[in-house]
Amino acid sequence: MKIENGTKVLITGGASGIGKLMGEIVLKKGAELIIWDISQERIDETVAAFLPLGKVTGYRVDVSDPVQIASAATLVKQTGPVGLLINNAGIVVGKYFHEHAVQEITRTMEINANAPMLVTLQFLSDMIARKQGHICNIASSAGLISNPKMSVYAASKWSVIGWSDSVRIEMQQLKTNVHVTTVTPYYINTGMFDGVRSSILPILKPNRVARQIIRGIERNKIFVKMPWIIHIVRLCQGILPIPLFDFMVGRVLGIYRTMEHFEGRKI
């Protein structure tokens, strides 16, 4: 889709990280920006910083709460139809699966897996009725490749990828002219994965990731994968025996050791 003057763009988790960077990009293209975020302080700071760039509105929404999602969506729809929805909000708990508390598992799945579906459900019917719109779901390469100390996070992102691409096919079958883009980046240097060490594959730069995502949306790309080597890893995953694949990814590329010193974002 073309992001232009008057395009209403809603970004969850839009007051920090790549969500904030994508918001700045679409504002500069003339779009109207709507930010959902759990932190009112970050919302206020971001709205104040972005107001010189264009029209921007912020709502405090905990996307793990279906009631808050529905309430905020009602307010947003009263101001006009959303043309582009970017499901970006996410959390990560980096520990071995047996160390997780039940609350950590359920909250990760609520925010990373359930929320994109529930938020999309609020706006998709309107897009179908108008025969235009775009949904972008920020997943992760962790949804493609298993990784120690990321089991619950990986589960949530595998869920997003399967759901997101299924919706894409549904929209094509129904000839709705609603497009779906699924994004599967490697680690991004936003603070969310502080402490991660990647010796061979590069940790991605947030500004570049944000630009690539927006470019992918404007080109109606089905998947935005980064870096490019993820394509090769996926190919190897399909053709190599599992022990050999584990050796290549775990020992040669060192991916299975990346979370050993994970700290996460300081709150």
**Residue-wise pLDDT tens digits, 147-168:** 999 999 999 999 999 999 999 9
Average pLDDT, the chain: 95
Listed residue (52, 92, 77) closest to 191, CA to CA: 92
Catalytic residues: 153
Estimate the share of the chain in helix, then strand, then coil, as percent rounded to the nearest 5. 50, 15, 35
Q: Work out the burial of residue 98: count CB atoms within 10 Å of its CB; fewer than 13 is exposed, 13-18 middle, 19 or more buried.
A: exposed
Give the pLDDT score at 267. Answer: 43
Q: What is the largest CA-CA distance in the chain?
A: 55
Q: Which amino acid is at 199?
A: S
Give the pLDDT score at 262. Answer: 87
Sites in the chain below the pLDDT cut of 70: 265-267
Q: How many helices and strands (H and E) does the chain possess?
A: 9, 7
* 94 vs 147: CA distance, rounded Å: 10
* 216 vs 31: CA distance, rounded Å: 17
Taken as a whole, the chain contains a residue count of: 267
Give the pLDDT score at 199. Answer: 81
Contacts of 230 (CB under 8 A, 6+ apart): 141, 144, 184, 186
* 101 vs 98: CA distance, rounded Å: 8
Listed residue (148, 147, 69) closest to 114, CA to CA: 69
Residue 134 Rama label (left phi>0; alpha psi -120 to 50; beta): beta
Asked if residues 171 and 243 have their Cβ atoms less than 8 Å apart, the reply is no
Q: Which amino acid is at 229?
A: I
Give the pLDDT score at 265. Answer: 67
Question: pTM of the entire structure?
Answer: 0.94
Asked if residues 110 and 69 have their Cβ atoms less than 8 Å apart, the reply is no
How far apart, in Å, do the first and last CA atoms of the chain sit? 36
Q: Which residue ranges form the domains of the chain, and what is each CATH number?
A: 8-257 (3.40.50.720)
Asked if residues 42 and 115 have their Cβ atoms less than 8 Å apart, the reply is no
pLDDT (tens digit, 9 = 90+) per residue, 194-222?
889 988 888 999 999 999 999 999 999 99
Contacts of 51 (CB under 8 A, 6+ apart): none
Asked if residues 226 and 201 have their Cβ atoms less than 8 Å apart, the reply is no
CA angle 138, 76, 64 (to 5 degrees): 50
Six-digit token string for 190:
């936003």
Give the pLDDT score at 38. Answer: 97
Asked if residues 9 and 33 have their Cβ atoms less than 8 Å apart, the reply is yes
